[in-house]
């Protein structure tokens, strides 16, 4: 199989991680690093033995795919250049600086028939991948993502910087149109929200509560999912999870349901925990960005129908984030 020639646009932290991952993938050839800062591009290119460029147009004709890890305001123009030249792109989250630009990227991808993926790497977290294999239908979701102040990304709300991860995951789990959004947020240090809590109701009845903060005393990334099939408690940070099911004792559970209005029913000898099947979720220890890049490159090759997160899904996450921010403005604290 011929190696896919790829390049990374942006030599910052995320660009460096993508370069490392791509340099180790089989059937992938890292041919270049692009950054407006020539010294930074050359430093990273030297580390991974590839070319260094300051102009993306130099890559045209040299690459089969590109990962855009430049600053968010540059995403649209960079994506437009490559898509119009029939080069598939993976764009770091968020997809673009605005919903309008995100929609334009989606339309460009459709018009030119080009694969466009979005780097919502948390979707590739081993915990999320394990949860996806269960194929559950959630009724209630609770997601919490908090950390001490990061001293970066102060130019955007915590919704776009942090909550966007869980927005994407929740949308993929609920798999239903949004019916309503109610949110409140406050800014304490930055000019935009540092803390936000949102409740999202979906057309299929599923409800999700999402909380994000960059002013916490600890780092926590957890999600709990309630469904007919199971209850899940997952920790993204520790990469571990617990699944609880009642199905091994479904007859006993059904009997309890039938007897709940019977005043003579005696439940004194019933131990609820003994009716449950509790197990640790089987989680593979795969690096999220590697899973993300492999899915993208397989979609480019045509050996997979789609990347892990499509441009349409990246747009949906941004549209939901916009609804949350609009609700925050309605409940603005003075």
Whether 313 is covered by a domain: the verdict is: no
Strands 65-68 and 89-92: parallel
**Structure tokens, 154:** 């102060």
Identify whether residues 245 and 133 lie together within a single domain. Answer: yes
How many residues make up the chain in this entry? Answer: 334
Q: How far apart are the first and last CA of the chain?
A: 61
Identify whether residues 53 and 84 lie together within a single domain. Answer: yes
Identify whether residues 129 and 106 lie together within a single domain. Answer: no
Which regions of the chain are under pLDDT 50?
none
Identify whether residues 21 and 45 lie together within a single domain. Answer: yes
78 contacts 9 by C-beta, under 8 angstroms: yes
Identify whether residues 20 and 101 lie together within a single domain. Answer: yes
- How far apart, in Å, are the Cα atoms of 103 and each of 83, 90, 113, 148, 250? 14, 15, 15, 33, 47
Whether 192 is covered by a domain: the verdict is: yes
Q: What 3-state DSSP class applies to 276?
A: coil
**Structure tokens, 320:** 């939901």
* Residues 100/9/237/168 CA torsion (nearest 10 deg): 20
Per-residue model confidence (pLDDT) at position 246: 63
Whether 19 is covered by a domain: the verdict is: yes
**Beta strand ranges found along 14-93 (DSSP E):** 28-34, 51-53, 65-68, 89-92
CATH number of the domain where residue 233 is located: 3.30.360.10
Identify whether residues 158 and 115 lie together within a single domain. Answer: no
The verdict on pTM exceeding 0.85 is yes
Per-residue model confidence (pLDDT) at position 255: 66
Which of 26, 42, 89 has its CA nearest to residue 63?
Answer: 89
Whether 243 is covered by a domain: the verdict is: yes
Query: How many domains is the chain partitioned into structurally?
Result: 2
> Tens digit of pLDDT for each residue in 236-266?
988 889 988 766 566 666 666 676 777 766 6
Identify whether residues 217 and 104 lie together within a single domain. Answer: no
> Tens digit of pLDDT for each residue in 266-276?
666 666 666 67
Task: Classify residue 207 as exposed, middle or buried by CB count within 10 Å of its CB (0-12, 13-18, 19+).
Answer: middle
Q: Which long-range contacts (CB under 8 A, 24 or more apart) does 282-285 make?
A: 282/130, 283/126, 283/127, 283/129, 283/130, 283/239, 283/240, 283/241, 284/126, 284/129, 284/130, 285/126, 285/239
Estimate the share of the chain in helix, then strand, then coil, as percent rounded to the nearest 5: 40, 25, 35
Range of the domain at 236: 124-287+319-330
Identify whether residues 74 and 164 lie together within a single domain. Answer: no
Cβ count within 10 A of residue 187: 17
Identify whether residues 157 and 204 lie together within a single domain. Answer: yes
d(Cα 179, Cα 85) in Å, to the nearest integer? 38
Identify whether residues 172 and 216 lie together within a single domain. Answer: yes
Cβ count within 10 A of residue 175: 11
267 Cβ contact list (under 8 Å, min separation 6): 256, 259
Which of 321, 329, 308 has its CA nearest to residue 132?
Answer: 308
């Amino acid at each position: 199989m011929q190696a896919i020639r790829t390049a990374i646009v942006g030599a910052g932290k995320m660009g460096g991680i993508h370069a490392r991952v791509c340099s180790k993938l089989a059937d992938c050839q890292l041919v270049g690093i692009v950054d407006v800062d020539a010294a930074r591009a050359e430093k990273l290119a030297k580390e991974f033995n590839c070319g260094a460029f300051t102009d993306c147009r130099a890559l045209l004709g040299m690459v089969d795919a590109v990962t855009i890890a430049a600053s968010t305001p540059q995403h649209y123009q960079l994506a437009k250049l490559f898509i119009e030249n029939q080069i598939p792109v993976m764009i770091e989250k968020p997809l673009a600086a605005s919903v309008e630009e995100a929609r334009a990227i989606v339309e460009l991808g459709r018009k030119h028939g080009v694969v466009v993926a979005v780097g919502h790497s948390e979707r590739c977290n081993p915990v999320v991948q394990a949860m996806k294999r269960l194929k559950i239908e959630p009724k209630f979701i609770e997601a919490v993502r908090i950390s001490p102040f990061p001293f970066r990304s102060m130019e955007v709300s915590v919704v776009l910087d942090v909550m966007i991860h869980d927005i994407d995951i929740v949308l993929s789990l609920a798999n239903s149109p949004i019916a309503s959004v109610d949110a409140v947020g406050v800014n304490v240090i930055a000019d935009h929200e540092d803390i936000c809590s949102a409740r999202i109701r979906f057309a299929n009845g599923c409800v999700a509560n999402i909380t994000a903060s960059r002013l916490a005393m600890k780092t926590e990334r957890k999600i709990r999912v309630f469904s007919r099939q199971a209850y899940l408690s997952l920790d993204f940070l520790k990469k571990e999870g617990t699944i609880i099911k009642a199905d091994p004792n479904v007859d006993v559970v059904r009997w309890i349901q039938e007897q709940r209005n019977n005043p003579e029913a005696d439940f004194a000898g019933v131990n609820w925990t003994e009716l449950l099947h509790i197990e640790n979720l089987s989680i593979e220890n795969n690096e999220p960005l590697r899973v993300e890049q492999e899915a993208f490159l397989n979609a480019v090759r045509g050996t997979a129908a789609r990347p892990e997160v499509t441009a349409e899904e990246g747009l949906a996450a941004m549209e939901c984030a916009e609804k949350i921010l609009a609700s925050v403005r309605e409940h603005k604290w003075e």
